[in-house]
Amino acid sequence: MDAATLSTAKALIVDLCLQLMSGIFKELIDSGSSDCFVNSGFVIKSNLRIQEIDPLFLILIDDTINHCINQVVLLPIQLVYRLSYVIECYVTPLDSSCEVVLGHS
């Protein structure tokens, strides 16, 4: 499981709608990330249903291990033009500039 940083040229921040709640939140589309992630504080604030998983280590672009992840959520999102998806996101603390990181998965 790999993640790029917000300062990389492979990143794009867009607004998304979460189908479970009103309002818009910031999402980072990160072509350097192999997986999708959601901010742990956002999960708690949004009262999203958490599923426990076997521990996984988050490996950053510089090959350092930053965090052990043991939870996922199924996040129903809506893009512009009303396209809806349910994505599995690993729960982890994220940079304050976005609530969700969408990677290749």
Q: Would the pTM of this model clear 0.85, i.e. be above it?
A: no
- Look at the chain and report how many structural domains it folds into: 1
Predicted pLDDT at 2:
42
CA 68, chain centre distance (Å): 15
Structural domain contains residue 49: yes
Predicted pLDDT at 29:
79
Predicted pLDDT at 76:
82
Question: How many angstroms separate the Cα of 95 from the Cα of each of 37, 42, 83, 86?
Answer: 11, 12, 26, 22
Structural domain contains residue 88: no
Which parts of the chain have pLDDT scores under 70? Answer: 1-24, 79-81
Predicted pLDDT at 79:
66
Structural domain contains residue 87: no
Structural domain contains residue 92: no
CA 81, chain centre distance (Å): 21
Predicted pLDDT at 15:
58
- Structural domain for 34, as ranges: 2-76+97-102
End-to-end CA distance of the chain: 10
Predicted pLDDT at 27:
76
